[in-house]
Amino acid sequence: MSKTLYLLPNLLDENQPVEGFLPSSLKPVVNSLTGLFAESEKGARKYLLKFMDREKMQKVQIKLLNEHTEDKDLQEYIHSIREKEIWGVVSDAGLPIIADPGAKLTMLAHRSKMHVKMVSGPSSIMMALVMSGFNGQKFQFHGYLPRKEEQLVQALKDIEKKAKQEQSTQIWIEAPYRTQKMIDLSLQHLQKNTLFCVAINLTSSHEKVLSMSIAEWKKLNFKTDKSPAVFLLA
């Protein structure tokens, strides 16, 4: 297969063995890459070394694809795929594109009539939704909510209203160091009968999925450290 952009999954917990958590069809795909778009050089090298030795890894070209990548870089990246035929996209954890950059590059690959292919893998957002016990037939993902407290509280209230009006599960994320703050604000401002789920450290041995009403959450007096989390309400 030539001129292909492969969207590739990563582990959710980088210390896990790839064999246990990613499908075996991934290894031959990674070994076929002429280049890899990744959030950082270090992350890209770590990823490649999970599937090949150092000597082979050093032959794979690495280009950065993150929030600093500009549109003119993307055009150049498409040119790279034209010249060197099989490129991958990987993010630091889970599925690329989902809550991460990469969509524009993928659209350019479609426009340039390249093959766009994928190997499936874990998505923390989907795992959180499946395990929440909330409606999985209608849902909405908001990415990051506003940072400033006043706007964040308003966003939480808007989302809560939407969940009830549309009977649709609402999902969002936050930087790990703000997990406790997000829980505190949610317990403070959401209604007692609203169902709230926090899915922490998914797939790791410290995984915790807590799903109950705001009233029950308040009794729990739950405290966490700076752990990656997905938040859901219904």
Instruction: Examine residue 231 and tell whether it contacts a second copy (CB under 8 A).
Output: no
Contact 166, 159 (CB under 8 A): no
Instruction: Examine residue 176 and tell whether it contacts a second copy (CB under 8 A).
Output: no
**How much is the CA Rg of the chain, to the nearest whole Å?**
20
Provide DSSP, 67-88.
TT--HHHHHHHHHHHHHS-EEE
**Interface stretch with a second copy, choices 45-53, 57-65, 72-80, 112-120 (CB under 8 A):** 112-120
Instruction: Examine residue 146 and tell whether it contacts a second copy (CB under 8 A).
Output: no
**Least separation in angstroms between CB 137 and a second copy:** 4
3-state secondary structure of 13: coil
**Least separation in angstroms between CB 55 and a second copy:** 27
For a second copy, the closer CB: 116 or 185: 116
Instruction: Examine residue 159 and tell whether it contacts a second copy (CB under 8 A).
Output: no
Tell me the CA distances in angstroms from 159 to 19, 46, 129, 145, 156, one per residue in order. 38, 38, 16, 10, 5
DSSP state of 21: H
**Least separation in angstroms between CB 45 and a second copy:** 23
For a second copy, the closer CB: 69 or 211: 211
Instruction: Examine residue 147 and tell whether it contacts a second copy (CB under 8 A).
Output: no
Instruction: Examine residue 88 and tell whether it contacts a second copy (CB under 8 A).
Output: no
Strand partners, 212: 196
d(CA 173, CA 200): 11
Contact 181, 188 (CB under 8 A): no
Instruction: Examine residue 222 and tell whether it contacts a second copy (CB under 8 A).
Output: no
Among 66, 168, 180, 204, binds a second copy (CB under 8 A): 168
Among 21, 34, 178, 224, binds a second copy (CB under 8 A): 21
For a second copy, the closer CB: 44 or 119: 119
For a second copy, the closer CB: 54 or 221: 221
Closest to 215 (Cα-Cα) out of 192, 188, 182, 183: 192
3-state secondary structure of 25: coil
d(CA 209, CA 195): 13
Using CB under 8 A as the criterion, which residues of the chain lie in contact with a second copy when the complex forms?
A: 7, 12, 19-25, 95-100, 102-104, 106-111, 116-118, 120-123, 126-127, 129-143, 168, 195, 203, 207, 209, 211-212
